[in-house]
Amino acid sequence: MPETVPNLRDLGGLPTEDGATTTHGVLLRSAMPSADDRGPDGVHWPPSLVLDLRSSAEAGPRHPLAGAGATVRRISLLEALRPDGPQSANPEVVARMATGGLQALYLGMLEIARAELVEVAREVAAHDGPTLLHCAAGKDRTGVAVAMILRTAGVSRDAVVKDYLATGASMDAVLRRLHMSAPIDPARPAPTSYLAIPQDAIDAVLDVWDSHPGGTAGWLYDAGAEAVVIDGLRERLVV
């Protein structure tokens, strides 16, 4: 019997700092989908836009949802860690990301993947239909990107952390999906780090944004996002 996508959840119903809630059916997150996945109950499937955050080696030539009516955009957040990746990234940052655990990996994304994170924000803000963000497990790259979008939209920090930690309940299904997929890309973290869901890692990212002038929205603006993108995220996600 076909499975549903591992680690899939609709990011509606999350509380914002001003007492509102996020809208259901707008933003989804998951591990990598398969063409054989059955449509999850209560979720528009396939979503009309899919943002694939994996590297070129992981993604392969054709996304499994491309033939099912979804528009797929690949925006790799860790391309700089690949041996044949872009050479413009700070080598010290890349070295820390490769060896320093998930906190270093997440913080490094804020440096080497700023332009890509801005592009993720632009895509989510501009699209009218359901948007899915995914990587391999739907945990690390997806976790950072989703946290950025949610905080920009005004979702409370506690709710963002709770959503990040919710992946823990899906790790068995995620591992089954990964074992069925192509070999693990060398750009991805070591297995022990890959399985962890450390709150201190996402807290470190949130600390960077919270300490930035203007918060996460200010960080995103300084990284290159237009004001219309920031406003668009709030309008799209918040009831």
In tens, the pLDDT along 15-43 reads 999 999 999 999 999 999 998 898 888 88
Examine the pLDDT at 138 and tell me if it is beyond 60.
yes
Predicted local confidence at residue 185, as pLDDT? 53
Please give the mean pLDDT across all residues of the chain.
Answer: 91
pLDDT for 86 equals: 66
Per domain, the residue ranges of the chain are 9-237
The closest alpha carbon to 137, from 32, 59, 51, 37, belongs to 32
The answer to whether residue 193 scores a pLDDT higher than 70 is no
Q: Look at residue 192 in the predicted model and tell me its pLDDT.
A: 62
Q: Cis (ω within 30 of 0) for the bond into 46?
A: yes
Q: φ and ψ at 48, to 5 degrees?
A: -75, -25
The encoded tokens of residue 195 equal: 């399985």
In this model, does residue 105 exceed pLDDT 50? yes
Whole-prediction pTM: 0.93
Average of pLDDT values for 177-191? 61
First to last CA, the chain: 36
Q: Are strands 9-10 and 27-30 parallel, antiparallel or unpaired?
A: antiparallel
pLDDT above 80 (res 83) = no
Measure the CA–CA gap between 102 and 119, rounded to whole angstroms.
Answer: 23
Band of pLDDT at residue 87, cut at 50, 70 and 90: low
Phi, psi of 51 (to 5 degrees): -105, 110
Of 210, 29, 222, which is closest to residue 114 (Cα–Cα)?
A: 222
Residue with tokens 């949130």: 206
Right CATH number for 9-237 from 3.10.450.30, 3.90.190.10, 1.10.150.130, 3.30.70.60?
A: 3.90.190.10
**For 153-179, what is the mean pLDDT?**
96
Contact 7, 173 (CB under 8 A): yes
Here the tokens at position 200 are 């201190």
Confidence band for 190, pLDDT divided at 50, 70 and 90: very low
- Whether pLDDT at 196 is above 50: yes
- 101-115: average pLDDT: 95
DSSP bridge pairs for 21: 15
Per-residue pLDDT, 8? 96
Least confident of 77-81, 164-168, 184-188: 184-188
Q: CA nearest 174: which of 206, 144, 197, 205?
A: 197
pLDDT at 176 over 50: yes
Which has the closest alpha carbon to 75: 105, 48, 53, 47?
Answer: 53
Asked whether residue 179 carries a pLDDT value surpassing 90, the answer given is: no
Does position 189 have pLDDT exceeding 50, yes or no? no
Strands 27-30 and 71-74: unpaired
Beta pairing partners, 134: 30, 52
pLDDT at 90: 84
Tell me the Cα Rg of the chain: 17
Question: In degrees, to the nearest 5, what angle opens at C-alpha 190 toward C-alphas 98 and 89?
Answer: 20
